Amino acid sequence: MGSNYKLWTVSTDSIIYREFLSKLPSSVTLVMYPYMLASADQAAWKLVSGTTPLEGVFKYTSQWNTLLGTDRFRGVVVDGEERVGFTNDMASAPSYKAKYNIATFAYATGYPQVGDMIKYGAYVDEFYLEMYDFYVENSAALKLVQNTDTKSAGEFVAKLNSQVWGSAINKYDDPRIQFMWSLQNSASSACIYPLNGLCGTKEDFGTQSLDYFMSFIAEMKSLYPSKFGNKPHGMYQFNFMPTSWFSS
């Protein structure tokens, strides 16, 4: 990228500032979502703090807020698939929040991994459930349930109810849950920021219209007011949002 595009440096010369922060309205608040699976990345985060990778993420987030003169980054979120990089330090998250003036600590995990909410609940303020890769529960072989298999949002909801949710949905009353719905469409390149020419590798809500997606969310909220109705819903993999969802 050249010497002016520094990844780990907190400055207005860094790639994060030039290619991301400077392009967002100042009213948008963010969370820092680090990659912590590979040992090289864990080592890099550890260098930031001099102690642990997780503290490094909190310190890095705080340094950005100091530079920007605002609490632009309101929190840190870690991914359950990368737990090898932070689980030994989870109990320290509350003290890191206080030390670096970070408001929230969140944990992202798959929609059925509700056991993580019990395991890490004492340290986590928000749980982000990644709503994709819907498999038929208790099937002898892995079988995906996708919206392209159905004719309407209502039919897709019914199929999820009968084949996928199972016992996991009983834990969705937890007020800390927020839902992230996948926008992938492996058959398309018509999204705002395709990756290697494609809008993902799966068939998720990016295959449908915005009206279909909103109808689906509305039906889930109506059917399950305490589980889906009173909680935030977001779009996972924003870069795969179909261009057709935007007006001219």
Alpha helices per DSSP H over the chain:
15-19, 39-49, 53-68, 93-100, 115-120, 153-163, 210-223
Predicted local distance difference test score (pLDDT) of residue 4 = 45
User: Whose CA is closest to 29, among 6, 61, 57?
Assistant: 61
Quote the radius of gyration of the chain (alpha carbons, Å).
19
Predicted local distance difference test score (pLDDT) of residue 19 = 86
Helix axes 53-68, 93-100, angle to 10 degrees: 20
Q: What is the pLDDT along the chain (248 residues), one digit of tens a residue?
A: 344 456 678 999 998 899 889 999 988 999 999 999 999 999 999 999 999 999 999 999 999 999 999 999 999 999 999 999 999 999 999 999 999 999 999 999 999 999 999 999 999 999 999 999 999 998 888 899 999 888 899 999 999 999 999 888 999 999 999 999 999 999 999 999 999 999 999 899 999 999 999 999 999 999 999 999 999 999 988 899 999 998 76
Q: What is the pTM of this model?
A: 0.90
CA distances to 21, 47, 83, 245 from 42, in Å: 24, 9, 11, 37
CA 87 to chain centre: 18
Domain residues of the chain, as ranges? 1-102, 131-248
Extract the runs of DSSP E, i.e. beta strands, from the chain. 30-32, 73-79, 104-110, 126-131, 177-182, 233-236
The conformational region for residue 178 under phi > 0 = left, psi -120 to 50 = alpha, else beta, is beta
Predicted local distance difference test score (pLDDT) of residue 2 = 42
Predicted local distance difference test score (pLDDT) of residue 141 = 87
Predicted local distance difference test score (pLDDT) of residue 30 = 94
Predicted local distance difference test score (pLDDT) of residue 1 = 36
Residue 61 · residue 76 · CB < 8 Å: yes
Q: Which residue has the tokens 């400077």?
A: 22
Predicted local distance difference test score (pLDDT) of residue 71 = 93
Residue 53 · residue 42 · CB < 8 Å: yes
Q: Tell me the one-letter amino acid at 188.
A: S
Q: Which residue has the tokens 């999204």?
A: 191
